[in-house]
Amino acid sequence: MKKNIGQTIKITVIEVLKDTKEVAVGIADIVNAATVKALKDGRNAGTGVASVVAEAMSGAIQSAGEIGSDLTTVTKNSIVGIIRGVHGAGSVATDVIRETVRVAVKGTSKIGGDITSVTKSVVVGAIKGTRDIAGSAEEAAAEAAQGIIRGISEIGADAGLAAKNTVKGAIGGVAEAGGRLAAVIKDTSKGLVLGASELGEDVASVAKNAVLGAIEAAKELGLSAEEAASAAATGAFEAAKLIGGETGSAIRKAITGTIGGMKVMIKRPFKKEK
């Protein structure tokens, strides 16, 4: 019986983890090649892109679980490989980030992995992979944020904590791969809050924790915590405007005032004079 992409990747990644010093490069290259092949084969068999990338990520996570390898390295570089592979096969890479990240979160939970560290690593991988194909870091971060919240909701984990770590991952991704930091933070926060609202999660907690994550990560990296907090709060505020009603009001209240010992400033667009 022909192996599916998940089985193929699992077997091959295990060999890389055992034998290769350049683990990151090896995983990304293997997943890239396997994804391109599976997508081309899948077109003839009627297999969708979402199904292929889900199997690819599941196989990579299983490989790490079976031999006790560093799951953050595996998930980060698998996402890089998947994005390159989808792009190489002629599909739109950013469209698959949300599903790939969701599967990564669920797969990590299934093997008892550290959700906190993987939450950060998948955002870094999404940004790095997208930057590798000259894509938008902001769009990648926003898609990853919504995928994380969906995965977290499905496994019943703490959405607030996930939001904090997602923003930390986004800042780390920009530090590693480049991008407009304030815009990436803003779009990540906005994606988290919108995703939480769609799934009935505690949007106020998600919004506040997104700001906290921005502050903590900025301090760790020697960046401006004030600017990072402002960007995260602005993203949550924009989401609140779209959501509206009592939920929107709760979001605005959560990001107003002092958070993490810092007065948070929301940047609103200037209104044109009539």
Residues 24, 77 contacting (CB under 8 angstroms): yes
Distances (CA, A) of 74 to 9, 130, 163, 218, 239: 11, 17, 21, 25, 32
Distance CA 52, CA 161 (A): 29
**Residue 259, φ and ψ in degrees, nearest 5:** -130, 130
**pLDDT tens digits for 81-94?**
999 999 988 888 78
**pLDDT tens digits for 135-157?**
999 999 999 999 999 999 999 99
Between residues 121 and 64, which one has the greater pLDDT? Answer: 121
Show me where the domains of the chain are located: 140-267
- Which DSSP string corresponds to 126-137? HHHHHHHTT--H
For residue 271, the model assigns a pLDDT of: 47
Distance CA 18, CA 10 (A): 12
Structure tokens at 135: 């894509």
Residue 77's pLDDT band (cuts 50, 70, 90): very high
What's the rounded mean pLDDT across residues 226-232? 97
Beta bridge partners of 259: 262
Residues 8, 37 contacting (CB under 8 angstroms): no
Supply the mean pLDDT for the chain: 89
Torsion of Cα atoms, 250 then 123 then 230 then 197, to 10°? -10
Beta bridge partners of 263: 258
**pLDDT tens digits for 22-53?**
666 688 888 898 888 888 886 654 568 888 89
Distances (CA, A) of 101 to 20, 79, 104, 179, 227: 25, 8, 5, 20, 27
Residue 187 reports pLDDT greater than 60: yes
**Residue among 128, 217, 215, 222 at smallest CA distance from 179:** 128
**Packing angle of the helix pair 115-132, 97-110 (nearest 10 deg):** 150
**Residue 263, φ and ψ in degrees, nearest 5:** -70, 120
Distance CA 17, CA 26 (A): 8
Percentage of the chain beyond pLDDT 90 is 68
Distance CA 59, CA 76 (A): 14
For residue 24, the model assigns a pLDDT of: 65
Length of the chain measured in residues? 274
pTM: 0.89
Distance CA 143, CA 42 (A): 24
Between residues 127 and 50, which one has the greater pLDDT? Answer: 127
